[in-house]
Structure 1
């Protein structure tokens, strides 16, 4: 069973340590102690709660889409150079960078501070985990 310290759980979900503590206080998460007595929360409980916080793709905009990877965020950078544009979107703790035509960036009226939705449709997504400590 995977457990995370409160600070680790907060970082994973993109909230403050105090928010995780509030979740424990109101019974959303259980607080346990690891072998060294450190307060930890259960990874499976955290995952279940995190799913309740996600934005349903059907609630974003007025379009239907086969893409399920949608990140609502704030545009933090628009760099148009010639025919291309680089746009950065901050979605919670995640920085998403998109390269597009300058025409598309202008048509979308992208500017720093505007709301955007990054839609990602990929046939290959790579996941990584940390290595287990050597015994």
Structure 2
């Protein structure tokens, strides 16, 4: 069974250690202790909580083929002619999208606005630590 220390969970999800401890205290995450006696979060419990966070706890009323969605905040909008570069951050993830000026205006994207990026890719590379 995979286990994560509180600090590791916080870094993985882009939240503070205190937030993870609150989730533990609220019963949202299952914990135990490792061989060193340090509190750890059960990997399966963490996976279920992450899925819950991703949906906001609700079922999405829209069905789509893209499974990778990242809700975050727009941190940069660079419009040049008919094209634009939009950068956003979702937790620890930085996402960059190239789109038309028209799309930026239609979506009313500006620094500080909330947005969701949908990612559909035929190639996804997964790596794990040794």
TM-score (norm 1): 0.81
The answer on 1:97 being equivalent to 2:99 is no
Pair 23,108 (structure 1): closer, same or farther in 2 beyond 3 Å: closer
Runs of at least 5 residues in structure 2 that lack an aligned partner in the other structure: none
The answer on 1:84 being equivalent to 2:83 is yes
Task: Count residues with an aligned counterpart.
Answer: 128
TM-score (norm 2): 0.83
Residue in 2 that maps onto 1:47? 47
Answer with 1 or 2: which has the greater Rg: 1
Residue in 2 that maps onto 1:66? 65
Runs of at least 5 residues in structure 1 that lack an aligned partner in the other structure: none
The answer on 1:14 being equivalent to 2:24 is no
Q: CA RMSD in A?
A: 2.0
